[in-house]
A = this chain, B = another copy of it.
Amino acid sequence: MSQTSNSSLEPGLSQETFNDLFNTIGQYINPQDLQGIQTDYQMASPSLHMVDENMHENLELKLECVNVQRHEQGEFSSYIPDQNFSQGSYKPEEIAVKQHPIVCKQEHLSNGLKSSPSPEQSSPQPLIVSNTDFPGRYCFDIGYEEEKVPVTKSVHWTYSPYLDKLFLKMRVIVPFRIKLQGYPSPQTASAHFIRAVVIYRQPEYYRENVERCPNHITKHKDGHHAPKHLLRCENPQTTYVTCPVTGRHCLTIPLGEPQAGSDFVTEMFQFMCFNSCPGGLNRRPILVIFTLECGNQVLGRKALNIRVCACPGRDRTSEEKTESKKRSNNNNCLVSQVEAQGSQPERTSTPNTTPPSTPQVSSSSSGPHTPPPPAEEPSASTSDGKQMPRLIKKRSYPFMSSGFEVRQLNVDRIPFNKKQKTQDEEVFTIQVKGREKYELLLKIKESLDLMDLVPQAQIDKYRQSCPPCGRLKNSQNMQHSENGESQNSNDSQADEVDGPSQSFSQLSRSDSGSSYHSPTSSQQSTGSGGGGGGAGINAVRFTLRRTLSLEKKGHFHVGIP
């Protein structure tokens, strides 16, 4: 970890290099460190720290959102509601948002790098959602009910104070207690709401959206309007939202009023996939981020460590043992504690560490030990040297695996420790038969890479000058337009966003590039390009066009600096 922090501070880097560093840092840095950094960001003034990375992406997005808001003012959400469960009651604010999605989007495009107060203010999370606990003025916190049966065999859910982690079965409805120390006055309470977003706990996956697996979406059709959302809330006023820009799913519910005498509100949630679902979470641990918001402000945040599995009891026990060993290795003194607490005794009933005022178990923060997002992987800080080998490995995976093996493609993989490079930089291999195709593809590939080097301003300029057929865009944009007219399809739009948006835009550029050649190419080219349009981009593209030697399988790396 020590090393990582150092490396991350270097200034004057190219975009690429920068990104790499960014990612790298995220990989090695430990949770505590991240927390600190993030906090800084939040505090920091806008425009640029981008460099800092934890999230370079985050930063950018946040800024964008802010801009939007200001533009219109209260718009606090770049999310578009997928659907509203509420039978009725749409809040004014929500409506406003829906009506101006396009604006938001546009904002994003043009404001990309603009400065703004603080990311924290805009409710929507940027590419990288903050996982930092932030009690705020209301001492916002989330807790669980005390587990009923002291000794249940097949518990539907169980909370491990030792791990500060909730283990639950898929689709079971679990009560979560939303705690506020000082409840907002009745007048302002209605403007407050709770947002819940699920993110991957491992830095490598921060930017990836958490979504249900195709199997469950497809085979488990229950008519729910937000089939892709992992998290559901039983509250009838729940609004499911999917960010048109990032594609990230979240839900919001109005801030309920505590029952007389209590300082919390209970809301029922359920998770629609296993943590292990192959085409979805794929065994990656997650964090559920709850935020208390009012208008466009985030008043409090709480991250919960959650595991959705088939055998909560079993898995809790085994994880506690594992963690126990880990800790014992690291700190000798704590060993005994671990054993005593975690292993078995507590399993069924909610354990110790229960907060005083309420009977509920408050997740972490209150506990003596059990850091919120404990760094599980020891090896995170290993050397870079490993990274290269990694890439190679990945290549091998594709060959015969089932496809889901862990992680490779999208994700870099396993985070744990070892190494890693950047997320975006996963390396894929495409085999092409025939030299002509190969060369064509190579050019396109290069143009895509080069595109990253073109300043956004130039790109925008290019696009403006580009005729109708080239209009580019990203899916989100598309969406917007849809929204504009009718919001009905939010869901689908948003849901789809996932990775395509960019590709699209990229394509268009690439297309133009390819126009030159034969039928195939011509078509493609047409799609994207438009005749030649603009300048900078085109130039760039063709520039690289390199032909290559002919070796066959040699993987040529076409790396572009």
Contact = CB atoms under 8 A, between A and B. Distances in A.
A527 B474 contact: yes
A430 B433 contact: no
B427 A513 contact: no
Contacts of A409: 403, 407-411, 435, 438
Contacts of A235: none
B403 A215 contact: yes
Contacts of A408: 397-398, 401, 403-405, 407-411
A170 to B, nearest CB: 5
Contacts of A496: 505-506, 508-509
Contact of A512 (B274, B279, B493, B505): B493
A501 B417 CA distance: 30
A153 to B, nearest CB: 14
A334 interface: no
Given A404-B408, A426-B435, A497 B509 contact: yes
Contacts of A406: 213, 277-280, 282-283, 403-407
Interface stretch (A35-43, A102-110, A297-305, A447-455): A447-455
A111 interface: no
A511 B520 contact: no
A413 interface: yes
A429 B428 contact: no
A530 interface: yes
A387 interface: no
A170 B400 contact: yes
10 contacts: A172-B400, A215-B402, A218-B502, A274-B402, A403-B411, A422-B433, A430-B438, A436-B500, A447-B524, A508-B514
Contacts of A172: 400
Contacts of A170: 400-403
B440 A432 contact: no
Contacts of A469: 467-471, 516-517, 526, 529-531
Most buried by B among A216, A280, A520: A520
B431 A520 contact: no
Most buried by B among A402, A410, A502: A402
A558 B430 contact: yes
Contacts of A556: 428-431
A432 to B, nearest CB: 5
A448 B520 contact: yes
Interface stretch (A74-82, A185-193, A546-554): A546-554
A522 interface: yes
Contacts of A401: 170, 405, 408, 412
Contacts of A169: 400
A441 interface: yes
A469 B528 CA distance: 9
Contacts of A213: 215, 404, 406
B427 A429 contact: no
Contacts of A437: 445, 448-449, 503, 506
Interface stretch (A61-69, A373-381, A475-483): A475-483
Given A215-B213, A430-B430, A553-B420, A517 B509 contact: no
Given A502-B217, A517-B507, A428 B417 contact: no
A323 interface: no
Contact of A427 (B416, B500, B552): B552
The 8 closest A-B pairs by CB, nearest first: A470-B526, A517-B527, A404-B406, A404-B405, A278-B404, A215-B279, A282-B406, A469-B469
